[in-house]
Structure 1
């Protein structure tokens, strides 16, 4: 049965509107009836008790703000009457040892069909990478993409060229601006796609970026670490790397980073320096020949059964709304707990969106050193934001605020639920690699693409991406599963949404049921079923330059 409101935690003093509530609407929760004194849009919050100026506002059982002014019972919470606030935290607090792992009996014998690598890792996909070590090589990367993608059968993007031709025809026929604006153009077609020459290779990915030189030397080191994470990734069969030669991001630096992550690296890797080779034609011809040979080798690997413990799932949210923290995120949190109980790895990132829930994560850390590293990274990140006149409180976007997330702590408390309730086994600083099964925290920005790029660079073979507003974000080498927090979004943007957890809001499904449905889908995706972002050729890749990015 669908309710009008929800109270997330027993200690909360606000309710969440599950539907639009006109002024004067009586709503009941746990025997208490409150009448709205304002119009309360769906996803927004109303006061369950009188709030005097300075009074705390609690959601998810934590402090998410304080009242700027008096708010009556049933009053709407807004950015005008509530301000961001969080509790302090102590990294030396008592460790929690009470985690109850979920029953995973039904999942223990399940497998996915993955690509087994010589080092024991198992990929959910099989890609070849073409990477520039510096932005000076981006044009040559583009030339290689034009030469390879179409003829090898990897073109995926829908073409809108027929619509342009239709508009040209209308112009030539003498149509006016008004008539052209009113024209309903024919649907874009994917066009004829050639069959893949290498059926066991999912694609060739070209990771253009704007780094590798300029900035500071640490930027180059970090970039090489990220690129090494992609080259050694289980979803990657091998790589072609283009270097100019004189840039900060030297080939030796990349090779050192590869060795850190994979001391016995055995994948085919071709590295070409333009300043040594000479002409563009010589460089491109050599790269084409070597890449083609690499694809031939990559095509020899086929999918084989693998236990679910070989999965590493990245947890991400973007375009969040007031329902994200009560449907999609906790459902993904249940997936996280299931996978941890099965021996798999999970990555929770976006440190600006963990603001306010630090104590919970500290308490869940397996030891003091882990808790201290998390605390140190969080405080350093927060201080760097303040130093440039910003702060974590400025994280929520206009879209977040419009749809009910009016403070960063409120957003963070919901975002953190993606991590479930299992112990924190490790804290990683970007772009470090996941090496332990269990829940790993990774220091990244809250920015969707920067964070997703980082999670995959740290080892995520599938990313679960929750959204309440809709975003097309994908990744070059890991499938990004887009999960809607509400049914309206799933219906409005079915071309980018893979799963809908609005069923929880609609009263049709429990969090646990939604989580199990997601895990079932993950197994299919890990076995080769395409997600929307892959079908659309959405391959977003933005390295974080370790500046302040919220």
Structure 2
């Protein structure tokens, strides 16, 4: 019989309901539930004094804002955010996995990179060229592409910026690295970058841009640029259709790790299961990218303990200080992060949410910390600085070289991504049933006794299948073209 609650760590003073609990239900330690507790929410195992730490997953997730009786519901009404000191000795938990061999069928590009998809991208330097880019892509209807069965599609990526912004600084640097990162992502067989001609974000200033380029002003206006762009894209499509998959090592694979609409189950099912899959990928020589800096807040010490050097640990700490100051400038704090959906699902503070977020990264060494949309070059696990907003964060990861996005969710997500498809992992069975068309893997079997490691093996198998061409739920639904959201901090003039 499936248990109705779980105590995730021997240090915990709360249990997690994995089914609705009624007043009078008895917990393992003999404590009686004092009031109805919704699935995913927390119940006190013992009395917790006001000001004492509430412990979940072996870590403090905040302080009791009032005395909490044994058996009481623990949530926003009696638990508040408070930073607590946590051990952060650099590298004390370093663990290198034993190597394994794994492979998938990918597209080998002329420069030696490996793709998992075979798209043509129509990129834009500025919002002014958005319509032209979309019209070029729209020319390639399913009927026209039927003659090119080895091409996954022709897709336009537009954004709201590129002019009316500073000519230097973090904003334009992020935008340029995002554009050039997509242009060099091996899931594109070819790209066309469309500009207006007079914008701040000039095509010739793109660092390391490779591909075809077109300026609307030079082409003779909107109609002429569309015609010229279609001609270029047709050439790229014909070339891409010559590509064929071949077996390659999983060491060529890079994945981005995301979580969205998390709930109280996420940290005990989907997220640690994804972490177990990441450990397998790293053991096979592959790479993983953890991001969403505001969503590791309060759990960063767990990454520091796996950092390969003090420089890596210090860089991560510096990014968190930046985010604290960034939030404070608008009178906010990083504890604003848990959304209404997160809280309805049982998550109370950012500290609690962050524990689940970090679990996605498994247990291997943290080898590098990089800025948004920069190319991942280190082996194994890299942390990329990014906002917690899923489309923005995943955009940076794909620009960094991610072939796939692995996305855990507890409340439900309709996210998709191109050219690097999203595999969505459900934390609970109710979600997997209710949004079956959006979910690829149901991780709730962990609650029925399957081990986290075995679920991780299932996810790793799905990663290799998807990398080899199996369509994800979001691909079948046609999602991903509108989820390209570069992070562009700074003033708009």
Q: Would the TM-score normalized by the shorter structure come out above 0.5?
A: yes
Q: Corresponding residue for 1:118? A: 110
Q: For residues 124-160 of structure 1, what are the alpha-carbon distances to aligned partners after superposition, in whole Å with 9 as ceiling and x for unaligned?
A: 111110011100111112222332234423xxxxxxx
In the alignment, structure 2 segments of 5+ residues that lack a partner are none
**Matched position secondary structure for 1:34:** coil
Contact 1:221–1:253, Cα closer than 8 Å, also in 2: no
Worse overlay, 328-337 or 112-121? 112-121
Q: Corresponding residue for 1:188? A: none
1:529 aligns with 2:479: no
Q: Corresponding residue for 2:261? A: 319
Q: How does 1:233-252 map to 2 (within 5 A)?
A: 233-252=185-204
Change (3 A) 1:361 1:547: farther
1:520 aligns with 2:470: no
Equivalent-residue separation in structure 2 for 1:372 and 1:396 (angstroms): 26
Q: Corresponding residue for 1:205? A: 155
User: Please, what TM-score do these two structures have when normalized by structure 1?
Assistant: 0.86
Contact 1:62–1:356, Cα closer than 8 Å, also in 2: no
User: Please, what TM-score do these two structures have when normalized by structure 2?
Assistant: 0.96
In the alignment, structure 1 segments of 5+ residues that lack a partner are 154-195, 259-264
Equivalent-residue separation in structure 2 for 1:8 and 1:94 (angstroms): 25
1:416 aligns with 2:358: yes
1:128 aligns with 2:120: yes
Change (3 A) 1:407 1:477: same
Q: Corresponding residue for 1:274? A: 216
Worse overlay, 422-431 or 4-13? 4-13
Corresponding residue to 1:377 among 319, 328, 339: 319
Equivalent-residue separation in structure 1 for 2:140 and 2:247 (angstroms): 31
The structural deviation recorded for 1:2 is: 2.1
Q: Corresponding residue for 1:11? A: 11
Change (3 A) 1:87 1:120: farther
Q: For residues 272-320 of structure 1, what are the alpha-carbon distances to aligned partners after superposition, in whole Å with 9 as ceiling and x for unaligned?
A: 1111221322211111111100111111111110111111011111111
Contact 2:94–2:307, Cα closer than 8 Å, also in 1: no
1:144 aligns with 2:141: no
Q: How does 1:216-235 map to 2 (within 5 A)?
A: 216-217=166-167, 218=169, 219-235=171-187
**Matched position secondary structure for 2:327:** helix
Equivalent-residue separation in structure 1 for 2:228 and 2:217 (angstroms): 14
RMSD value over aligned CA atoms? 1.6
Equivalent-residue separation in structure 1 for 2:38 and 2:392 (angstroms): 31
Equivalent-residue separation in structure 2 for 1:355 and 1:495 (angstroms): 32
1:214 aligns with 2:214: no
Equivalent-residue separation in structure 2 for 1:324 and 1:24 (angstroms): 27
Aligned residue pairs total 487
The structural deviation recorded for 1:499 is: 0.8
The structural deviation recorded for 1:397 is: 0.5
